[in-house]
Structure 1
């Protein structure tokens, strides 16, 4: 799914600085071993490398890793790029000083399994940092708007925006972490028109592309989803096309230090 469209454009044009917010919140510094899980094109991995950390960027989609490598080369940054499933990370226990994911691990279908992996690869005392879209925020509502038109999820899969619910994240990480801090913030986004948002996401964003492909032979459903997504954007836009997309920023320390 994430190899479809142009997620690099989403990272570049819609959330270009969101990964840096996470890196700053985690206090990433030179010499640390940092793992970016479901890294995409390196939205968090690249700023972590700029801070002087030794960074491993992992993602399931090789196309996104290839795009991230090109960005790193252009910026003169050295990172390790590894294909990896967030639910089965190919790294040893207690390998990293910082483990982060910026609107990435939230899309792993089995939340408990993914959370277990985040904790497993973190050293005692390591920082775990997450940015996730909230259920109540714009992206959470976008997934709700697409749900009637989307194929049923696999058995056991949980909705991605649940990672944006503080209680859910606390339950997933449990007593394996300490000093968990969670803060809802808003990410500024601007499109000239509601239809511009819709068309951009139809062209670039994997989950939206997959949803439209599933109803491609039903023009009425396509038209209805077109209206639903444009209306959603319109409801969140001010007169200048600005929106605030709510996300949850979580930082915690791995227990056992």
Structure 2
């Protein structure tokens, strides 16, 4: 069992919640990666009658498609503001589900309560990976299904975090990099022999919203919490300009477009399994 100092953890989680509440993460979820939700719902076989927990649900990328597929869904997230945005989307789409503030590392649910637990680029941002994985497994009934989508370390978002790393303060002791959840060996190690029927596949999301690298950079400076936080840590305009150039270079490196218009492919790991 992972031992975490409770007072320090409360402070850390408050910072995380505030970071994700900054900007407009919903713009990222709806304009860039909306397809991830339906992909995960299909991969894990969510169906009518399933009781589903979405961990790190954000604004409902997976939770809403799961509810529309007929499941009973609880969408949980550390950040209330994201859940409020999700509730609005659910009303617009006619989806009925529950929205609950919850810490992925201290889920307020019973052992074996859910038939299915899912997370699309959500649980990967919990700072203590083993604690989050333990909770994910705990709340799923034996034989129940688990489905995860996580950005890979070598993919675009993983490399974006690597690009920003020299510009930000080091994380507290014990906090692990989010993209490790996109490393198959790492996730298998977290889940261990508590799962069976593990299946993995590496896929990509094609992003064509941006005409040029500067458009990508400004979108993330405005909307994406971790990028906003990185810029807040820059001591002066010169360092901010260095971060600008680093992010522009990242987009240029990953650009696969042929017509002068930016085309990015964001790699992720899709994992499905059953609790043993």
TM range (shorter): over 0.9
1:242 maps to which residue? 263
- The one-character-per-residue Cα deviations of 1:208-257 (angstroms, maximum 9, x if unpaired) are 00010011x321110000000011101111233111100000000000xx
Residue 191 of structure 2 aligns to a residue whose secondary structure is: helix
2:88 maps to which residue? 70
Comparing 146-155 and 30-39, the one that deviates more? 146-155
1:159 aligns to 2:177 (yes or no):
yes
Residue 2 of structure 1 aligns to a residue whose secondary structure is: helix
Structure 2 gaps, min length 5:
1-18
Picking from 173, 176, 185, the partner of 2:203 is 185
CA RMSD of aligned residues (A): 0.7
Residue 158 of structure 2 aligns to a residue whose secondary structure is: helix
Alignment TM-score, normalising by the size of structure 1: 0.98
Comparing 70-79 and 98-107, the one that deviates more? 70-79
What's the CA shift for 1:39? 0.2
Picking from 197, 214, 227, the partner of 1:195 is 214
**Aligned pairs, number:** 254
Picking from 80, 99, 118, the partner of 2:136 is 118
1:251 maps to which residue? 272
Alignment TM-score, normalising by the size of structure 2: 0.91
1:55 aligns to 2:76 (yes or no):
no
Q: How does 1:10-21 map to 2 (within 5 A)?
A: 10-21=28-39
1:39 aligns to 2:60 (yes or no):
no
Residue 184 of structure 1 aligns to a residue whose secondary structure is: strand
What's the CA shift for 1:199? 0.4
Structure 1 gaps, min length 5:
none
1:213 maps to which residue? 232
Q: How does 1:79-94 map to 2 (within 5 A)?
A: 79-94=97-112
